[in-house]
A and B are shown apart, each in its own frame.
Chain A
Amino acid sequence: MRKALMGNNAAAAAVKLARVEVVSAYPITPQTQVVEALADMKASGEFPGRFVRVESEHSAMACLVGAAQAGARTFTATSSQGLAYMHEMLHWASGARLPIVMADVNRALGAPWILWTDQTDSLSQRDTGWLQFYCSTNQEILDSLLIAYRAAEALLLPVMVNYDGFTLSHTYEPVDVPAQEAVDRFLPPLNYQYALDLANPRAFSALPKPKEYMRLRRRMAADMDRATVTVAAIEDEFARAFGRRYAAVEPYRTDDAETLLVVSGAPASTALEAVDRLRAEGLRAGSLRIRQFRPFPAAVLRAYAGRERRFVVVDRNFSMGHHGIFCEELKSALYGVKGRPKVFGTVAGLGGGDITVELLEEIWRDADAGRLDEREPLWMEDAR
């Protein structure tokens, strides 16, 4: 049944449907409603799992590391500085191969004090060994969390589902909340094969020799490498079960497009409208939405680089001393491709600046006309 839900409601609904056993979280704007909703559901008995209150995000992740090691299905949610505070435990979660799932409601980082969205929080966790998805709709938040548990438990790697603060987290739109039985068929109970077992006490993740450490890291890299294929198979299964299809990279009107907008998160939805408006003028516009950031779907993206083409990336994030992060990742993926397309980088909407249809059209026109410089990111804003 379709209901008007905020992104944060959709996340909480997914946690309940996934039959999560342990939630531990610390509230922070704009994630707060996720925690509030779960606490309400716990109080009313609607959510039968454990809800562990903690004094910080660092403790929240530490709590989940323990719970996941004991074999529980786990969840947390955070934003911005809260995610930054979790940082060292994120490495532990992935290194210990724990299938933890979290929602990060993208919010810019201070100073100065800032509440609104950008992706610098989650992209700062790029190298922690978590899979990362970026959602464009509230429906996708719910669906991605269900997909995330399947992926995490198949790969024994943690998954972070990201969505734009306020633009998705606080915006109401229709969301189809699937029936519990359908979710149960898609997502069976977790059976974590390395769970703590009182009958067979062992040490976990104790000090290895460098040789062992290298091999464990190589195994983790190999599991990350197979993640794109594994997730695609889970997304296929999800589409068969629920009628909604997702992919690591989602193309729109790309077939004869000369210049492609490359966007992630909620602005990727706005980009579809920008492409249609440009097409209505007879311009050969298209877009690529990057939904999966880790592992980076390099092979998928290379398939769109076959011809003389221009890509213009809209990054709502920035790596100081370098460029927009999606742009750099795309350039790296396309290195060595014959007839390499031009890749332009733009930075827009940091700290919640509005990424409008008009702004995306303007960015596309600048790129299409070759008015951008590949070496320099262009900073753009909608002045309204």
Chain B
Amino acid sequence: MPRLDEDPFLTPPILTGGRPMSANKTRDWRSVRPVLHAEKCTGCMLCWKFCPEACVSVQGERPLIHLDWCKGCAICVAECPAGALTLAEEEAP
């Protein structure tokens, strides 16, 4: 069981990412998610500016939050001056 006896040359000599970073989804890191209330949104895009994950993009004059990468830090909710973002809890699948 514990012997490392496979052919060492089967391991490549350096470690490289096997896929693009965009495939490295971080949605399961969060326990809360931001919810956009479009009727209150003024399109100021502070959420886009402050998102440390850069997972908010600009769609027309409104933000689009990409939940595959959102880690639920809630900075966008704290920064939104219009109160257009609220937090919802993630529930067990």
Co-assembled chains A and B: yes
From B2, B3, B5, residue with most partner A Cβ within 10 Å: B2
A379 touches B15 (CB 8 A): no
**Contacting residues, chain A, for B4 (C-beta < 8 A):** 379-381
Q: How large is the interface on A (under 10, 10 to 19, 20 to 34, 35 or more residues)?
A: 10 to 19
Proximity string of chain A (341-384) to chain B, C-beta cutoff 8 Å, 1 when within and 0 when not: 00000000000000000110011000000000000001111110
Proximity string of chain B (4-26) to chain A, C-beta cutoff 8 Å, 1 when within and 0 when not: 11000000001100000000000
B15 touches A112 (CB 8 A): yes
Q: Which residues of chain B (1-52) have a CB below 8 Å from chain A?
A: 1-5, 14-15
B2 touches A382 (CB 8 A): yes
**Contacting residues, chain A, for B14 (C-beta < 8 A):** 111-112
What is the CA–CA distance of A271 and B6 in the complex, to the nearest angstrom? 26
Sample of 14 A–B contacts (CB below 8 Å): A111-B14, A111-B15, A112-B15, A358-B2, A359-B2, A379-B3, A379-B4, A379-B5, A380-B2, A380-B3, A380-B4, A382-B2, A383-B1, A383-B2
Interface of A is mostly: mixed
A312 smallest CB distance to B (angstroms): 13
What is the CA–CA distance of A383 and B1 in the complex, to the nearest angstrom? 7
A323 smallest CB distance to B (angstroms): 15
Q: Tell me the nearest residue of chain A to B1, going by C-beta.
A: A383
**Contacting residues, chain A, for B15 (C-beta < 8 A):** 111-112
Q: How large is the interface on B (under 10, 10 to 19, 20 to 34, 35 or more residues)?
A: under 10
What is the CA–CA distance of A363 and B2 in the complex, to the nearest angstrom? 9
What is the CA–CA distance of A231 and B1 in the complex, to the nearest angstrom? 41
**Contacting residues, chain A, for B5 (C-beta < 8 A):** 379
What is the CA–CA distance of A380 and B1 in the complex, to the nearest angstrom? 9
The 10 A-B residue pairs with the shortest CB-CB distance, nearest first, are A379-B4, A112-B15, A380-B2, A362-B2, A359-B2, A381-B4, A381-B2, A382-B2, A383-B1, A380-B3
**Contacting residues, chain B, for A362 (C-beta < 8 A):** 1-2
What is the CA–CA distance of A380 and B4 in the complex, to the nearest angstrom? 5
**Contacting residues, chain A, for B2 (C-beta < 8 A):** 358-359, 362-363, 380-383
Q: Tell me the nearest residue of chain B to A347, going by C-beta.
A: B4
**Contacting residues, chain B, for A359 (C-beta < 8 A):** 2
Contacts A111-B14, A358-B2, A380-B2 aside, 16 further interface pairs with beta carbons under 8 A come to A111-B15, A112-B14, A112-B15, A359-B2, A362-B1, A362-B2, A363-B2, A379-B3, A379-B4, A380-B3, A380-B4, A381-B2, A381-B4, A382-B2, A383-B1, A383-B2
Q: Which residues of chain A (82-123) have a CB below 8 Å from chain B?
A: 111-112
**Contacting residues, chain B, for A358 (C-beta < 8 A):** 2
B86 smallest CB distance to A (angstroms): 36
**Contacting residues, chain A, for B3 (C-beta < 8 A):** 378-380
